[in-house]
């Protein structure tokens, strides 16, 4: 089972605070049935100062520990790209760090608005041969499930990554409602991920995954790139 959105890299952003917590979070994900974990630190976000050297250093430390202590897990590197609207479409595409070096790119929208250039940027990502995966779109107040641009995006191969905790209602009824509305409207374009940050309030909740939703979780990155399953 794939978890394509996690903040397991230590001391990078608002995720795992240190290597000990990072390894414990990876261990817990494995206990819950995850076999492939994508580390997705924030990238180009105004909230965090994250540089390439920091990502690579954290990745080297954690991946070595996982290989030594949790060899059954496959840990791969990606990023959660923030689409602020301040970059041109070409600059955004040039900054892409795809999941595991493949075609899929995890992209986060601001919570409080939809940047005017959102669709121009996302369609540029698609034209460049990548497959954008919108991270927790249910959080974006400016995104409407009825938006025709959103339908065009999904019909063009764009995906929607709903956060499991939101679908379950663990973070409030509003998030549950908004996630459910997207799922009902775009069932073939939605996948689930944990967006886990720690072992407390933002812990992975795969143990609460209803069987009826198991079909929304790709087995691995290859399955994600080919989503939806035939």
Residue range 122-170, pLDDT digits in tens: 999 999 999 999 999 999 999 999 999 999 999 999 999 999 999 999 9
**Which is nearest to 82 in space by CA: 136, 19, 162?**
136
Tokens of 131: 């497959």
Q: Is the pTM of this model over 0.75?
A: yes
**pLDDT tens digit sequence for 180-228:** 999 999 999 999 999 999 999 899 999 999 999 999 999 999 999 999 9
Beta-bridge mates of residue 90: none
List domains and CATH numbers for the chain.
2-225 (3.20.20.140)
Count of CB atoms situated within 10 Å of the CB of 214: 11
Q: Which residues contact 91 (CB under 8 A, 6 or more apart)?
A: none
């Amino acid at each position: 089972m794939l978890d394509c959105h996690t903040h397991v890299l230590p001391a990078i952003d608002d995720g795992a605070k240190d290597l000990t917590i990072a390894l414990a979070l990876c261990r817990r994900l494995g206990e819950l049935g995850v076999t492939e974990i994508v580390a997705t630190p924030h990238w180009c976000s105004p909230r965090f100062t994250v540089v390439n050297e920091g990502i690579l250093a954290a990745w080297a430390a954690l991946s070595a520990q996982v290989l030594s202590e949790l060899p059954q897990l496959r840990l791969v590197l990606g990023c959660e790209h923030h689409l602020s609207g301040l970059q041109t479409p070409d600059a955004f595409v040039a900054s892409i760090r795809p999941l595991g070096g493949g075609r899929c790119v995890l992209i986060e929208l601001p919570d409080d608005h939809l940047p005017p250039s959102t669709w121009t940027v996302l369609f540029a990502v698609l034209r460049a041969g990548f497959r954008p995966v919108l991270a927790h779109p249910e959080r974006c107040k400016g995104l409407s499930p009825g938006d025709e641009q959103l339908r065009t995006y999904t019909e063009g191969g764009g995906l929607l990554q709903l956060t499991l905790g939101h679908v379950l209602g663990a973070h409030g009824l509003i998030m549950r409602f908004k996630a459910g509305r997207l799922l009902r409207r775009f069932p073939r374009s939605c996948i689930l991920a944990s967006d886990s940050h720690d072992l407390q309030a933002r812990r992975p909740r795969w143990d609460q995954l209803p069987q009826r939703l198991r079909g929304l979780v790709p087995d691995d990155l290859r399955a994600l790139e080919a989503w939806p399953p035939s």
